[in-house]
A and B are shown apart, each in its own frame.
Chain A
């Protein structure tokens, strides 16, 4: 995917996330978020500094335009921007980084992509749920919310991953 088209799709996804936050309240146990997978799919040629800035701006825009506490998405999304490159190196290998290539399900397999999605979702959700609860909710509630949100977020991310990280091989 070309850089300009990626950011067009990225912007559409951010709008979709704002709509999800404002109009799709399934239950208090499920927090649907596609923001972690959006940050994970930022093109590899963009450095960690760049992905940190993109994550911050994305989180801030969603916080500003969606319901909820201002700063929560920003707080949870910036760490995803920080771990993006090391995580890609760990899951997909050094070759992908050195070739400046983006990952896709077809090139690297379902298992590796699933692992990467689950890790970024988990990092995001742990921070989000802890900060949202502010020490007032029981650990059982937080655990159930984490598990349900991880599953929902993973399924949603799997649907979107082909759009965000398509296979560019001819």
Chain B
């Protein structure tokens, strides 16, 4: 009770103090031109700072909306690029870009600290998502859809010791399986690269296209050091372009010819 009275007294004193100071400032500004200009300038500066701060706060809270808009725009641009690509002379006869459908999605849940990591995206079969579709970003492969619900889908991420992606060193280099190194969110290993194949650390690693899930030529990472395994093949460290610790918006990619290809394999 005494504490409450104390607080009330302090608030009252502060209010009286502010009131008196405002009254004094008002007297000064009405009786001296110089002080009036000085106080006006000060008031404008304070208003400017407050306005700037409130704008910064509002801008911060609008970032989510802006991110979503940018992801949508990014997706539209990618679609336009693909459509434009169909009308251009075909440089790579094996390009399968036209055979894929792309759907933008947002990650709802993602795990990063396990050996078998997973994610859940905010699109399901009502949005056209199908099992065995790939998940990509402009910086690499993110995972593979494993199960699909009405509005959400479950996927294994690339940070999973069971997931392997067919990758190629450089634009026309050797192909091998790329797997997560199991240590960091941006490390991978490109395996089974023949010894006779020469490469330079710093070469880009792409998806090979020898997969029914991912289109070719998606940049995945940068090649680093290598070591010889059993005297037969090279194992190359790869630094992934996409850092999984900063991931939110993705694109689901589905091969329209997947069923036909699987039927032929059977």
Contacts and interface: CB of A to CB of B under 8 A. Distances in A.
A90 interface: no
B35 A52 contact: no
B12 interface: yes
A68 B12 CA distance: 31
Nearest to B36: A134
B31 interface: yes
B109 interface: no
Interface residues of B, number: 21
> Secondary structure at chain A's binding surface: helix, strand, loop or mixed?
helix
B68 interface: no
Contacts of B16: 49, 52-53
B88 interface: no
Contacts of A103: none
A78 interface: yes
A59 interface: yes
B22 to A, nearest CB: 10
Interface in A75-123: 75, 78-79, 82
A72 B28 contact: yes
B31 A134 contact: no
Contacts of A59: 24
Contacts of B38: 134-136
B24 A74 contact: yes
Contacts of A47: 9
Interface in B1-55: 9, 12-13, 16-17, 20-21, 23-28, 30-32, 34-35, 37-38, 41
A73 to B, nearest CB: 9
Interface in A16-67: 47-49, 52-53, 56, 59, 63
Nearest to A64: B27
B27 A63 contact: yes
Contacts of A53: 16
A78 B24 contact: yes
A82 to B, nearest CB: 5
Contact of B28 (A71, A135, A136): A71
A126 interface: no
Contacts of A134: 32, 34-35, 37-38
Contacts of B24: 56, 59, 71-72, 74-75, 78
B20 A74 contact: yes
B171 to A, nearest CB: 65
Contacts of B34: 134, 136
B211 to A, nearest CB: 71
A161 to B, nearest CB: 25
Contact of A49 (B13, B23, B28): B13
Given A79-B17, A134-B32, 14 more contacts: A48-B9, A49-B13, A59-B24, A63-B27, A69-B28, A69-B35, A70-B30, A70-B31, A71-B24, A71-B31, A75-B24, A78-B20, A78-B24, A131-B35
Interface of B: 9, 12-13, 16-17, 20-21, 23-28, 30-32, 34-35, 37-38, 41
11 contacts: A47-B9, A48-B13, A49-B9, A49-B13, A56-B20, A69-B32, A70-B30, A79-B21, A134-B32, A134-B38, A135-B38
Closest CB pairs A-B (n = 10): A71-B27, A134-B38, A75-B24, A71-B28, A74-B24, A70-B31, A69-B32, A71-B24, A134-B34, A78-B20
